[in-house]
Structure 1
Amino acid sequence: MVENRRFGNLIPHLVLCLGVGIVVFPVYLALIGSTHDAATIANGQMPLWPGGHGLETYRRALTESGMAGAPVGLMLLNSTIMALAIALGKIFISLLSAYALIYFRFPFRQTAFWAIFVTLMLPVEVRIYPTYKVAADLQLLDTYAGLALPLIASATATLLFRQFFLTVPNELVEASRIDGAGPVRFFLDTLLPLSRTTMAALFVIQFLYGWNQYLWPLLVTTRDDMQTVVIGLRKMTSITDQLTEWQIVMATAVLAMLPPVVVVFAMQKLFVRGLVETEK
Structure 2
Amino acid sequence: MRGILSSTKFNRFFSRFLTYLFLIVLSIIIIYPLLITVQSAFNASDLTAFTLDLHMHWTLANFQQLFTQTLYLTWFKNTMIIAVSTMIIQVIIVTLAGYTYSRYRFKGRKNGLIFFLVIQMVPTMAALTAYFVLGLIINGLDQYWFLTMVYVGGGIPMNTWLMKGYFDTIPRDLDESARIDGAGHLRILWQINLPLAMPMIAVQALWAFMGPFGDYLLSAFLLRSPENMTVAVGLQQFIADPTNQRVAMFAAGSFLISIPIVILFFLLQRNFQSGLTAGGTKG
Band the TM-score falls in, shorter-chain normalisation:
0.7 to 0.9
Query: Which position in structure 1 is the counterpart of 2:245?
Result: 244
User: Alpha carbons of 1:249 and 1:211: their partners in 2 closer, same or farther (altered >3 Å)?
Assistant: closer
Q: d(CA) in 1 for partners of 2:261 and 2:77?
A: 13
Residue 126 of structure 1: SS of its match in structure 2? Answer: helix
Q: d(CA) in 2 for partners of 1:125 and 1:89?
A: 24
More deviation in 160-169 or 196-205? 160-169
Residues 83 and 207 in structure 1, CA contact (< 8 A), matched pair in contact too: yes
Task: Structure 2 unaligned segments of length 5 or more: list them.
Answer: none
Residue 106 of structure 2: SS of its match in structure 1? Answer: coil
1:91 is displaced (CA, Å) by 1.8
User: Alpha carbons of 1:263 and 1:108: their partners in 2 closer, same or farther (altered >3 Å)?
Assistant: same
Query: Which position in structure 2 is the counterpart of 1:135?
Result: 135
Amino acid at match of 1:80: M
Amino acid at match of 1:48: L
2:32 corresponds to 1:30: no
Task: Structure 1 unaligned segments of length 5 or more: list them.
Answer: none
Query: Which position in structure 2 is the counterpart of 1:260?
Result: 261
| Cα RMSD (Å) | 3.2
Q: d(CA) in 2 for partners of 1:173 and 1:44?
A: 55
Q: Deviations over 1:67-118 (max 9, x none)?
A: xxx2x22222222222232233222111221222233443323222222232
* Aligned residue among 27, 32, 40 for 1:20: 27
Normalized per residue, which structure has more helix? 2
Residues 78 and 228 in structure 2, CA contact (< 8 A), matched pair in contact too: yes
Amino acid at match of 1:27: L
Residues 86 and 149 in structure 1, CA contact (< 8 A), matched pair in contact too: yes
Query: Which position in structure 2 is the counterpart of 1:114?
Result: 114
Query: Which position in structure 2 is the counterpart of 1:126?
Result: 126
Query: Which position in structure 2 is the counterpart of 1:48?
Result: 54
Q: Deviations over 1:159-214 (max 9, x none)?
A: 12212222333332223323332222222122211111111122223333332111
2:168 corresponds to 1:166: yes
Residues 67 and 73 in structure 2, CA contact (< 8 A), matched pair in contact too: yes
1:139 is displaced (CA, Å) by 1.9
Query: Which position in structure 1 is the counterpart of 2:157?
Result: 155
Q: d(CA) in 2 for partners of 1:262 and 1:205?
A: 14
Report matched runs for 1:72-221 at 5 Å: 72-153=72-153, 154-221=156-223
User: Alpha carbons of 1:44 and 1:223: their partners in 2 closer, same or farther (altered >3 Å)?
Assistant: closer
User: Alpha carbons of 1:198 and 1:236: their partners in 2 closer, same or farther (altered >3 Å)?
Assistant: same
Query: Which position in structure 2 is the counterpart of 1:58?
Result: 63
Q: d(CA) in 2 for partners of 1:169 and 1:213?
A: 37
Q: d(CA) in 2 for partners of 1:45 and 1:87?
A: 35
Using the size of structure 2 for normalisation, the TM-score is 0.80
Q: d(CA) in 2 for partners of 1:196 and 1:129?
A: 36
Q: d(CA) in 1 for partners of 2:173 and 2:25?
A: 51
Residues 66 and 249 in structure 2, CA contact (< 8 A), matched pair in contact too: yes
Residues 178 and 188 in structure 2, CA contact (< 8 A), matched pair in contact too: yes
Residues 236 and 249 in structure 1, CA contact (< 8 A), matched pair in contact too: yes
